[in-house]
A = this chain, B = another copy of it.
Amino acid sequence: MTTARRDTYTPQTLLEVAVRVFNERGYDGTSMEHLSKAAGISKSSIYHHVAGKEELLRRAVNRALDGLFAVLSEEHARVGRAVDRLEYVTRRTVEVLVDELPYVTLLLRVRGNTDTERWAMERRRDFDHQVAALLKEAAADGDLRSDVELRLATRLLFGMINSVVEWYRPDSRGAADGAEIADAVVRLAFAGLRTDG
């Protein structure tokens, strides 16, 4: 818990420490005392860098959300057949999730107890809805199997994607990287989704 770390913090470097502790203990389970121990500075020193605990949460979830929304703006997410765009967005979402792992992890766990959390949940729902729209479009094109109900498939696809934060650890030896995991997700999910298998 007490991480050595001298040589002055910035809001960003402090955020890295905080997000790690938030993910270990949960946001509500983390006190400023926990953060100060992990950062190796006193509680009051933290307030020199950020306004408080909730600002750290806000910075973290916004970073995650910005990364996710950026995917929807990419060219391959906007042009082409819907089912292919869906597959592309699925792949890139997994990659962002792996690249920004601690931030997305925190985002996926907020419960809505504060304004910041509710705002994060709302933006996240917006992202989900945009992907769900892609799925709907692909179904209308006749590119998705019809024996699995659409809303259900959307939920399960997200479930598979989002579950990556529960086990992926970049440091583990021989671990797959973002692209490999994305491959596996796309292969597994789209085998059950695409009309052609």
Contacts and interface: CB of A to CB of B under 8 A. Distances in A.
Nearest to A113: B29
The size bracket of the interface on A is 35 or more
Per CB-CB distance, the 4 closest pairs between chain A and chain B, nearest first, are A159-B163, A191-B192, A188-B192, A28-B28
Contacts of A153: 184, 188
Contacts of A156: 160, 163, 184-185, 188
A170 B158 CA distance: 20
Contact of A111 (B29, B163, B187, B192): B29
A153 B180 CA distance: 12
Contacts of A166: 155, 159, 162
Interface of A: 24-26, 28-29, 109, 111, 113, 147-149, 152-153, 155-156, 158-164, 166-167, 176, 181, 184-185, 187-193, 197
A113 B181 contact: no
A184 B189 CA distance: 12
Contacts of A149: 176, 184
A176 B113 CA distance: 29
Given A155-B163, A159-B159, 15 more contacts: A25-B113, A28-B29, A148-B187, A149-B176, A153-B188, A155-B164, A158-B163, A159-B161, A159-B162, A162-B163, A162-B166, A188-B192, A191-B191, A191-B192, A192-B192
Contacts of A181: 152
Contacts of A191: 191-192, 197
Contacts of A188: 148, 153, 156, 189, 192-193
A188 B162 CA distance: 16
A148 B188 CA distance: 8
